């Protein structure tokens, strides 16, 4: 009792009482470290520390485990790879490995393949420099800037070339290759060519700033400086409001002599411009350029065709001869020009010759009508530029569907032009495969759309040849006159060889060659065709040929026309 009072008086609680009063509470957590320290254990500062012990990463361990001689081997391999890449890109060797490696570089990086070859050499030199006591510090920011600058250069190379088909440009090893096409395809489709070029140009400047270590304040200062210079330049070349007002005020007096304009006398009637002093309209220029006469000289229409308002067909769709090229021309034995394309393959530049042939007429009977009564006019060949543009369109259209072909020949006729298409052979697993002609024929409608052809005919294949023919109508067809076939060498030789009075000139084939036939071999002839295909003209030509080559004593002809059409 006395003990309890003493405890109460001192304000302390006995252990038994404290335990009973906190029976419902959670037990207190005891810090083992504090308990150990209280017991007089040695402090943490007094513990011995192992010298040389430091935290390491996995990559640092891997780097330390690499022997020194391995760096030299990698550097030598990079140097050899860079040198071989330059040789493969610039040399004209036919080695299989060199051609394959150059083709891979051009397909992936386009014109940027030269930068890749130079980069391999630079990496090899960078690894070897510490061996000779020269150390270069390349921080991660600069390495990232170099990679970003390389990608921006590929994109700019691919967009700066005015080619609407970016994928075709990449497949031919131009621009920035497949890498450049992959970077610019979406921005070019969404924004267009110029905004895409501006975006990658800004990124290129930003990457250059990362390489040289420029700070953000310096970049902003440079942009402000050059922005002010561009603004001042634009203000200098932009006409003021007074200049614009003067220009528009003189618009109504175009073509009026200066003395009339500056005269103080007020005319009673408004003077109209002289029609002879006005420049010709675009419609008038096209009408003049479309006229073709027999004796027209080149000097007569040279000024009209060189007029800036006269634009060529499909100039916006296809860059003229972009895939054909204009450099490295050489002439073949058959007269065709050969040019080198950006992908290294040689390609013909087809030339259209004048459709003039040697005339050979046999001695005619005086009783027969003279050939002078028949009309005659020379045939006008199609435009040479149009022929070569169609060649590029055919190759590009099929290339969009991963069909690689080459137009090896062009046969120009009076109404249609036949393009000889030869598929490339593909080598897979040691075997040679050729593109199926049925696959090419399945893109009939796509070719018609690309060539803007009213009708398109595919001949798969051309009999007696190893290629297929694509017949495209000429934009300006020529009329085949009966007299031109009569006076041809082919008709003369055929009639002399057969010796029959029933030889008739049927017309000309796709290549423009005369086609004579013997009517005696066709006792039952059926002429069929669609509306406007020339059935009536053919019948009239047959009747005219029989009358021209026979007298009334040698031929009897009965013509029945139940429908009263002929």
At 450-460, the pLDDT tens digits run: 888 888 888 87
- Helix axis angle for 444-451 and 384-399, nearest 10°, is 140
Query: Helix, strand, coil proportions of the chain in percent (round to 5)?
Result: 50, 10, 40
Is the pLDDT reported for residue 325 higher than 50?
A: no
Percent of the chain with pLDDT over 90: 2
32 pLDDT band (50/70/90 cuts)? Answer: very low
Joined tokens for residue 10? 């001192």
Specify the DSSP class assigned to residue 294. Answer: T
Higher pLDDT, 372 or 10: 372
Given this model, what pLDDT does residue 550 score?
Answer: 84
Mean pLDDT of 427-443: 73
317 pLDDT band (50/70/90 cuts)? Answer: very low
Mean pLDDT of 322-330: 37
Closest CA to 287 of 308, 315, 310, 306: 310
Higher pLDDT, 287 or 188: 188
What residues have CB less than 8 Å from 344, skipping those under 6 apart? 102, 106, 173
Mean pLDDT of 19-45: 47
Mean pLDDT of 363-371: 78
CATH of 330-473 given 3.30.980.40, 3.40.50.300, 3.40.50.2000, 2.40.40.20 = 3.30.980.40
Mean pLDDT of 374-397: 83
Mean pLDDT of 329-346: 45
Mean pLDDT of 9-38: 46
Give the Cα separation of 461 and 437 in Å (integer): 8
Residue 501 contacts residue 553 (beta carbons within 8 Å): no
What is the greatest pairwise CA distance in the chain? 172
Give the per-residue SS3 of 123-163. Answer: HHHHHHHHHHCCCCCCCHHHHHHHHHHHHHHHHHHHHHCCC
Higher pLDDT, 91 or 21: 91
Give the Cα separation of 543 and 383 in Å (integer): 34
Higher pLDDT, 324 or 11: 11
Mean pLDDT of 243-264: 49
Is the pLDDT reported for residue 255 higher than 50?
A: no
Higher pLDDT, 260 or 449: 449
Give the Cα separation of 404 and 352 in Å (integer): 25
Percent of the chain with pLDDT over 70: 63
Give the Cα separation of 28 and 35 in Å (integer): 14
Given this model, what pLDDT does residue 429 score?
Answer: 57
Q: CB neighbours (10 Å) of residue 506?
A: 17
Is the pLDDT reported for residue 166 higher than 50?
A: yes
Query: In which element (H, E) is residue 76 found?
Result: helix 68-90
pTM of this structure: 0.42
Range of lowest pLDDT (99-103, 123-127, 324-328): 324-328
pLDDT digits (tens, 9 = 90+) for 47-77: 454 444 445 566 666 666 777 778 888 888 9
Range of lowest pLDDT (4-13, 109-118, 435-444): 4-13
Range of lowest pLDDT (4-18, 228-242, 411-425, 545-559): 4-18
Strands 416-423 and 425-428: unpaired
Higher pLDDT, 188 or 17: 188
Given this model, what pLDDT does residue 357 score?
Answer: 59
Range of lowest pLDDT (268-282, 321-335, 366-380, 526-540): 321-335
Three-class DSSP category at 510: coil
Higher pLDDT, 216 or 50: 216
Given this model, what pLDDT does residue 348 score?
Answer: 66
Mean pLDDT of 205-214: 82
Mean pLDDT of 425-444: 72
Higher pLDDT, 103 or 7: 103
Given this model, what pLDDT does residue 19 score?
Answer: 44
Domain boundaries, the chain: 67-228, 279-311, 330-473
Given this model, what pLDDT does residue 239 score?
Answer: 54
| Phi, psi at 363, each rounded to 5° | -70, 120
Beta bridge partner(s), residue 514: 508
pLDDT digits (tens, 9 = 90+) for 274-312: 555 455 555 565 566 555 444 444 444 444 344 443 333
Q: Which range has highest mean pLDDT (308-317, 380-389, 410-419, 557-566)?
A: 410-419
Given this model, what pLDDT does residue 415 score?
Answer: 85
What residues have CB less than 8 Å from 196, skipping those under 6 apart? 155, 159, 184, 187, 188
Range of lowest pLDDT (48-52, 181-185, 189-193, 519-523): 48-52
Specify the DSSP class assigned to residue 372. Answer: G
Three-class DSSP category at 243: helix
Give the Cα separation of 235 and 137 in Å (integer): 45
Beta bridge partner(s), residue 457: 471
Average pLDDT, the chain: 71
Given this model, what pLDDT does residue 165 score?
Answer: 75
């Amino acid at each position: 009792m006395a003990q309890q009072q003493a405890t109460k008086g001192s304000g302390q609680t006995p252990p038994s009482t404290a335990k009973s009063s906190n029976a419902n509470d959670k037990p207190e957590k005891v810090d083992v470290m504090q308990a150990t320290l209280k017991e007089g254990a040695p402090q943490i500062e007094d513990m011995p520390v192992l010298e040389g012990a430091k935290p390491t990463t996995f990559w640092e361990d891997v780097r330390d485990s690499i022997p020194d001689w391995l760096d030299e081997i990698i550097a030598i391999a990079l140097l050899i790879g860079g040198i071989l890449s330059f040789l493969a890109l610039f040399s004209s060797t036919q080695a299989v490995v060199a051609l394959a490696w150059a083709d891979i570089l051009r397909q992936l990086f386009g014109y940027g393949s030269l930068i890749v070859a130079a980069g391999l050499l630079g990496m090899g030199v960078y690894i070897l420099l510490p061996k000779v006591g020269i150390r270069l510090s390349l921080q991660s920011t600069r390495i990232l800037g170099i990679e970003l600058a390389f990608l921006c250069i590929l994109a700019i190379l691919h967009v700066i070339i005015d080619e609407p088909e970016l994928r075709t440009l990449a497949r031919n090893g131009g621009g920035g290759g497949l890498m450049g096409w992959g970077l610019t395809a979406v921005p070019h489709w969404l924004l267009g060519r110029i905004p895409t070029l501006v975006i990658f140009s800004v990124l290129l400047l930003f990457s250059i700033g990362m390489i040289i270590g420029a700070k953000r304040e310096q970049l902003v200062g440079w942009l402000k400086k050059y922005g002010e210079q561009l603004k001042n330049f634009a203000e200098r070349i932009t006409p003021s409001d007074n200049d614009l007002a003067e220009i528009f005020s003189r618009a109504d007096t175009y073509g009026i002599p200066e003395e009339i304009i500056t005269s103080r006398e007020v005319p009673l009637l408004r003077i109209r411009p002289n029609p002879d002093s006005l420049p010709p309209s675009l419609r008038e220029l096209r009408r003049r350029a479309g006229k073709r006469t027999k004796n027209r000289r080149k000097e007569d229409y040279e000024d009209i065709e060189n007029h800036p308002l006269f634009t060529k067909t499909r100039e916006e769709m296809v860059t003229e001869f972009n895939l054909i090229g204009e450099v490295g021309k050489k002439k073949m034995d058959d007269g065709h020009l050969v040019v080198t394309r950006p992908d290294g393959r040689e390609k013909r530049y087809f030339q259209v010759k004048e459709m003039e042939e040697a005339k050979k007429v046999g001695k005619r009977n005086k009783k027969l009508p003279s050939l002078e009564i028949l009309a005659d006019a020379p045939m006008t060949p199609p435009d040479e530029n149009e022929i070569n543009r169609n060649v590029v369109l055919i190759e590009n259209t099929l290339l969009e569907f991963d069909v690689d072909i080459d137009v090896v020949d062009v046969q120009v006729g009076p109404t249609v032009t036949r393009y000889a298409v030869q598929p490339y052979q593909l080598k897979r697993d040691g075997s040679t495969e050729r593109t199926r002609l049925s696959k090419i024929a399945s893109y009939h409608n796509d070719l018609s759309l690309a060539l803007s052809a009213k009708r398109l005919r595919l001949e798969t294949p051309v009999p007696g040849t190893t290629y297929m023919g694509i017949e495209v109508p000429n934009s300006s067809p020529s009329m085949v006159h009966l007299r031109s076939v009569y006076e041809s060498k082919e008709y003369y030789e055929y009639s002399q060889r057969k010796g029959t009075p029933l030889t008739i000139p049927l017309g000309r084939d796709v290549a423009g060659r005369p086609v004579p036939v013997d009517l005696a071999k066709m006792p039952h002839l059926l002429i069929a065709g669609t509306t406007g295909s020339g059935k009536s003209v053919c019948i009239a030509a047959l009747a005219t040929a029989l009358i021209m080559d026979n007298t009334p004593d040698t031929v009897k002809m009965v013509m029945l026309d139940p429908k009263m059409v002929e």
